[in-house]
Structure 1
Amino acid sequence: MSGAKGLHQRLDIHTGQNQTYVIQPVSPVPARAISIHRQSGEIEWHQNEAYFPRTASKPLAVYGIIGVISLVASEYLIVITSRQSIGEISGHEVYQATEFEFLPLQATTAINNPVEAYLLALAKSHLKGGLFLFSYTWDLTRRLQAQWVAREADNGKALWEVADDRFFWNKFLHSKFIDHTTANPDQDLSAFILPILYGTCDIRHTSIKSHPLTFILISRRSRYRAGTRYFRRGIDNEGHVANFNETEQIVVIERPGEDAPYLGDKLVDKEETRLSYVQTRGSVPVYWAEVNNLRYKPDLQIMELQDTMTAFKTHLQEQVALYGPQNIVNLVNQKGHELPVKEAFEKVLADADVTKVKYEYFDFHNECRKMRWDRINILIDRIQDDLIQEGYFHENSSETHPLKIQIGTVRTNCMDNLDRTNVVQSTLAKWVLNRQLRDVGILAPNETVDEHEGFMHDYRLAWADHADLISKAYSGTGALKTDFTRTGKRTKVGLLDDGYKSVMRYLKNNYFDGPRQDGFDLITGTWTPRRGPLHTAAVLYDDRPLLVRSMPYVLWFAIFMICAGLTLPRSSDLSLTYYFLLWFVLLISAVSYIFIHGIEYVSWPRLNRPVDIIHYEGPGFRGTRKGRGLKSSASSKGHAGVKPETAKGRPRAMSRTVEIEMGNRKRVD
């Protein structure tokens, strides 16, 4: 299932005396070394099979190369210095990268450059905050069925050549190695190119009715349109949607072959049955956004651009080409804040007339109100025939062809593709799992996995952990409603926990997600730095008006003075009424000013500033546009004083608009 070319699993990096990094393979066996010249960044291929440089310093032991990132003053070689085993999939070890090292290629790096320090901190924070998985011998980026379909085409290729481009998270960082290999086939660096998956991988050894099995849950996050909750919504002009994840549930059943001997408690010759079921999730595939303004619910806007239909069709046609017929399950609310998104989705879908696509709307919050989560079965009853027809992947190691293949997938989305989507996907996966285990004879025709508490404990934990990790990557906190996923029922404690997570989401999404989004854009190559003082200074320059920048200091100083008046000893008997009145007036004024101009205080991304979204005035739908000052207008300055005239790629306001009032919202045509 992986390419024939092996990967180096352990490397020693020596710092040469002539300003080079010498990368010496150690495991599985010593092999040719390569050198990277720190001044030029050029890669040198050593012809000797075993090259050991003479250096006084102890080599740095690494377990893989993430790639090379270029900042404003230097390039950096990013390597994995620590790893943790997750488990095995059919004998292939899966690891999580836990520690990283950034090795500067230019020895004369301007370490006092503030922009360089900022960008370097972004890259380090991104790697520290994510879950990065890899295997030296198994292609984690592709589902089982995709590996089987391409088995002949993959023969003789390296792991990076067969990896799914969407889930090869560090492909941009490996551009230098890939380009060198492509330009110099006789100097193949494939053994140094390690594909990294940003996602989840949970491997649990469990059993049902004394049948040992391995339960595996893998989620693969797309590197396209990647980012945080409010700064990456909807679709782009290439058909990529935000927060796209492919989730694969795998069950591996081991059975002894004929006269299979044992070595200790391990089978030497074993037959494996592998069952796989794949689902996808992704943002509503239209141009839409929620503009942060310090309110709990940001301003919603839907942008009707000329290429909306083209982007929408591109997305669905790609899904059909990759996965087969699509069954789209939409969980967005049919009233209130979310209604315009539902309407826009359904309108474009109806006009698109894309073949092999079915649509099913399920009013999750209404159907499952009062904690009636069992009513998700209503949705399953509606799409049951499609689930049966789409099937699942089933292969035996002793067979040359799979017994079954999956010919379609369910694409689920809610507003964030997190909480409601997690609950529905885990329920669908369990329904399919019951069919799979009945088909292989582990469960009786009318038996379900719910009757086996030991297995269900592992199943619920795996799906709940999977939900938390996807949510943390996108929203900054764990998922909501995981008490149902973990225990099978909704609890009051779970409601309190959801309240806490909702508050934390608000704080992180408004005040901390800007740098997180910058980290995504930097690592995936969505933004690339250009060297030069004018360009680099713009990254950190804050040209908001002095009054805007000073107001938080006024707020905190007023709080300090009020606390001082309450705690410090009095020096006279004079009343403190006027003292407190003064500082309370300043406090209230500062708070009011900040919320009236809330959009100015959001932690916006600095690298790819969403000016075109913030100041969008074209056709579509817009909310109340709060937090933009007492007189909200497109001509007012946005965050960091960036005017809407600098926005690119979006139509300017039409000369004449007709506004139709819709409660607190209005549609612009």
Structure 2
Amino acid sequence: MVATCKSSDSDLERVWSPAAFHHSSFWSSLLSATMKPLHQRLHLYTEGDDTYIFVPVDDGVETQSLTIHRASGDIVLNRPNTPLPNYARRSQRTLYGIVGLISLSLSEYVIVITGRELKGRLMGHDIYRATAFDILPLNPNVSVHNPHHPVEAHLLALVRSHLHGGNFLFAYGWDVTRRLQAQWETQEKAAHKALWEMADDRFFWNRFLQTRLIEANGSNGKQDLSKFVLPIMYGTFDLRPAFIQGRHMQLCLISRRSRFRAGTRYFRRGIDHEGHVANFNETEQLLLVEGPTTPGAQRVTDDLFATKLSFVQIRGSVPVFWAEVNTLRYKPDLQIMDLQETADVMKKHLQEQVSVYGNQYLVNLVNHKGHEQPVKEAYERHVAELNLPNVRYEYFDFHNECRKMRWDRISVLIDIMKDDLEKEGYFRLDAIQPEPVKLQQGVVRTNCMDNLDRTNVVQAALAKYTLNLQLRELGVLPPGASVDHYEGFSKDFREIWADHADAIATAYGGSGALKSDFTRTNQRTRKGAVEDGMKSVLRYLKNNYFDGARQDAFDLVTGNWVPRKNPAAAMFLVTDARPLITRSVPVAASFSLFMICAGLTLPRTSDYSLFYYFMLWFSLLAISLLFILIHGIDYVSWPRLIPPTDVIYYSGPGYRSGNHGKGLKDNFGIAKRSRWLGTPRSRVEMDHIELGDMKKRVD
């Protein structure tokens, strides 16, 4: 395998010893060569309104095309070299993979990749980001661009927004969903398996969309569709070449976002009944280092890097039932649900992490006082009650320790954890040894309230500490030295982590990461604080006025909500069921503001001519704004597919910081439910939107 990136092709001329070459080739073939390859390019042919035919490009003499019959939806793998129908017409665009099939209210659709961008070359495999998609309807009477029903148009818009708003990564010969150590440990099991069969189910983002292809795969005992099933990951990938002390290396950072309990900042918090937490991300830092060169040794073009090192961290929401309810106020109402099953689902979550990663080190960065305190206390209480083996809890008062921009104080946490970091180690493979030199025995699970800003800073600090350990152990850095002493490498490290932080924050919170100036420059600046203020305002606007549709898109594409084949049953998606007065107040406020601005340009005939005019419109504006504030939840952009009604109006045991935004009646203790939010009308519906649950719902 060639482990290089586009910008370092000239370094292939470096050499190793013959022994290193032998072991490197041995390791390379074991790791990935036995996986079934995927088709990298497809041509699309249509036979009138009857079929879609996907023909692999440059697949050798035994090419097998794939036919999807539009009328029945049947998926058939054709025999080798089956001729195309006489009337088949070829699309002008080349396809780079099939994302999957999704069923909406009027038709089923095939989603395909029509554009890709090369992000880097990792261990001889090209890693791509999908940049363009096409949606092909099976129903010939449905137009993708102009569907004849508003519900179908709305659902298609959700799918498009999700596809074009996400960062989707894939490879044809490398499993982007699994960390390096997991690939090594399952290399024998993976022999002759398809890529989708070995993919990590948590990070196989289009697993629901691929259901039809997977079910058709071998359904009659004959056809093998594995070459058409492309696993896609939602996350980040960055790879950069670097030099330290004359040694060529690559630094790579990969983050993988879980498809379980996926969504946006305020609409997916905490844990569900299956033990999945919101905003769960696995972050893997890879370091590839070339071996020492020997004059006159054999030239190698198979694998440039003698040593591969991997360090993995995870992040995820506090694993209790909690939420923040938007009310249009800057700080939402905090709601903690003290349910009987909280301990059981937290135990399930933590035990699953132990089974996957080994020992768990829970680093909690939630504030110990103020708005966040109840979340911290609930987390600590349940962790203490469970007292699980292989799970250690560590609290770090981030804002107190790092106040007044003393961000260097993160070293306090490093000092606390350094023995455990060195004990649990990292994964290391050497070309001259057939077995790993080291295995990572555990991971650090970091969280703050959003698992974004504070979490990013701490994860970057832990990654840098481990990177220094790795380079010293390899002899690249002398004892006591740090990557900070090498400005070029240090800059790449900071930028790669800052870009990673921005991408995760944008996907979940709606804006780039806060505190990223420290990650990029190792300093907290006033300019960075001002930028953080602007990002906070952007988050507020998106979280309150736009994230409802984004959450609906997550639920639709990941299969948490499946539409019926009857668009009339989903008219609630395209209609506004709020009371007339609720809908009219923003119009009144806007008109009042317009009249006030217009009044500033009117001629003044007397001192009192405009006094009553302005008093009228200012009064109407004030009354309108007060009404909007009091009824704040009626003006938030809530998800419509799976509305969080039971969270908003939760009345069981737990903690609530306030009951804002529900109208005057709630201020007097009289509960009111906004029926337009989708209040359940039957026990069956209640079961499908049970608190914290992510069961698939059909509407």
TM bracket, shorter-chain basis: over 0.9
Check if 1:15 corresponds to 2:53: no
**Inter-CA distance 37–260: structure 2 relative to 1 (3 Å threshold):** farther
Residues 257-306 of structure 1: per-residue CA shift (max 9 Å, x gap): 775555xxx84564521010000000000000000000111000100112
**Inter-CA distance 336–209: structure 2 relative to 1 (3 Å threshold):** same
Q: 1:344 aligns to what?
A: 378
The answer as to whether partners of 1:11 and 1:64 remain within 8 angstroms in 2 is: yes
Which aligned pairs between 1:301-450 and structure 2 lie closer than 5 A? 301-450=335-484
Q: Which runs of 5+ in 2 are unaligned?
A: 1-30, 692-699
The answer as to whether partners of 1:326 and 1:408 remain within 8 angstroms in 2 is: yes
Matched letter for residue 23 of structure 1: F
Check if 1:97 corresponds to 2:135: no
**Inter-CA distance 156–503: structure 2 relative to 1 (3 Å threshold):** same
- Superposition TM-score, scaled by structure 2 size: 0.90
- Distance in 2 (CA, whole Å) between partners of 1:209 and 1:281 is 34
The answer as to whether partners of 2:151 and 2:567 remain within 8 angstroms in 1 is: no
Q: 1:86 aligns to what?
A: 119
Q: 2:8 aligns to what?
A: none
- Distance in 1 (CA, whole Å) between partners of 2:581 and 2:595 is 20
- Distance in 2 (CA, whole Å) between partners of 1:568 and 1:214 is 67
The answer as to whether partners of 1:271 and 1:398 remain within 8 angstroms in 2 is: no
SS of 1:84's partner is strand
Out of 146, 155, 170, the residue aligned to residue 134 of structure 1 is 170
Q: 1:659 aligns to what?
A: none
- Distance in 2 (CA, whole Å) between partners of 1:228 and 1:8 is 33
**Inter-CA distance 497–60: structure 2 relative to 1 (3 Å threshold):** same
Q: 1:239 aligns to what?
A: 275
Percentage of pairs with the same residue: 56
SS of 1:183's partner is coil
Residues 374-411 of structure 1: per-residue CA shift (max 9 Å, x gap): 11111111111111111100002332111000000000
The answer as to whether partners of 2:208 and 2:559 remain within 8 angstroms in 1 is: yes
Residues 295-339 of structure 1: per-residue CA shift (max 9 Å, x gap): 111000100112111110000000000000101000000000000
- Distance in 1 (CA, whole Å) between partners of 2:580 and 2:268 is 30
Q: 2:152 aligns to what?
A: 116
Residues 439-495 of structure 1: per-residue CA shift (max 9 Å, x gap): 111011111111111100000000000000000000010000000000000001000
Deviation at 1:40, TM superposition (A): 1.4
- Distance in 2 (CA, whole Å) between partners of 1:49 and 1:452 is 57
Out of 96, 110, 125, the residue aligned to residue 77 of structure 1 is 110
- Distance in 2 (CA, whole Å) between partners of 1:538 and 1:268 is 58
The answer as to whether partners of 1:14 and 1:53 remain within 8 angstroms in 2 is: no
Deviation at 1:106, TM superposition (A): 0.8
- Distance in 1 (CA, whole Å) between partners of 2:604 and 2:578 is 40
Q: 1:478 aligns to what?
A: 512
The answer as to whether partners of 1:181 and 1:189 remain within 8 angstroms in 2 is: yes
Matched letter for residue 230 of structure 2: L
The answer as to whether partners of 1:202 and 1:462 remain within 8 angstroms in 2 is: yes
Deviation at 1:183, TM superposition (A): 1.6
Residues 8-46 of structure 1: per-residue CA shift (max 9 Å, x gap): 000001111352111100045462111111121111221
Matched letter for residue 209 of structure 1: Q
Deviation at 1:645, TM superposition (A): 6.2
* Corresponding pairs, count: 649
SS of 2:291's partner is strand
Q: 1:204 aligns to what?
A: 240
Deviation at 1:573, TM superposition (A): 9.4
Which aligned pairs between 1:241-320 and structure 2 lie closer than 5 A? 241-255=277-291, 260-262=297-299, 267=301, 270-320=304-354
Q: 1:554 aligns to what?
A: 588
Matched letter for residue 281 of structure 1: R
Deviation at 1:538, TM superposition (A): 2.7
The answer as to whether partners of 2:274 and 2:345 remain within 8 angstroms in 1 is: yes
Matched letter for residue 46 of structure 1: N
**Inter-CA distance 482–391: structure 2 relative to 1 (3 Å threshold):** same
SS of 2:283's partner is strand
**Inter-CA distance 344–185: structure 2 relative to 1 (3 Å threshold):** same
Out of 134, 140, 148, the residue aligned to residue 107 of structure 1 is 140
SS of 1:520's partner is helix
- Superposition TM-score, scaled by structure 1 size: 0.94
SS of 1:21's partner is strand
Matched letter for residue 638 of structure 1: S
RMSD: 1.9
Q: 2:648 aligns to what?
A: 614
**Inter-CA distance 414–92: structure 2 relative to 1 (3 Å threshold):** same
**Inter-CA distance 484–573: structure 2 relative to 1 (3 Å threshold):** closer
Q: 1:636 aligns to what?
A: 672
**Inter-CA distance 21–576: structure 2 relative to 1 (3 Å threshold):** same
- Distance in 1 (CA, whole Å) between partners of 2:468 and 2:328 is 45
- Distance in 2 (CA, whole Å) between partners of 1:5 and 1:189 is 11
Q: 2:16 aligns to what?
A: none
- Distance in 1 (CA, whole Å) between partners of 2:636 and 2:76 is 46
Matched letter for residue 653 of structure 2: P
Deviation at 1:202, TM superposition (A): 0.5
- Distance in 2 (CA, whole Å) between partners of 1:208 and 1:226 is 39
The answer as to whether partners of 2:365 and 2:454 remain within 8 angstroms in 1 is: yes
- Distance in 2 (CA, whole Å) between partners of 1:566 and 1:270 is 72
SS of 1:567's partner is coil
The answer as to whether partners of 1:223 and 1:524 remain within 8 angstroms in 2 is: yes
**Inter-CA distance 232–458: structure 2 relative to 1 (3 Å threshold):** same
Out of 66, 71, 75, the residue aligned to residue 99 of structure 2 is 66
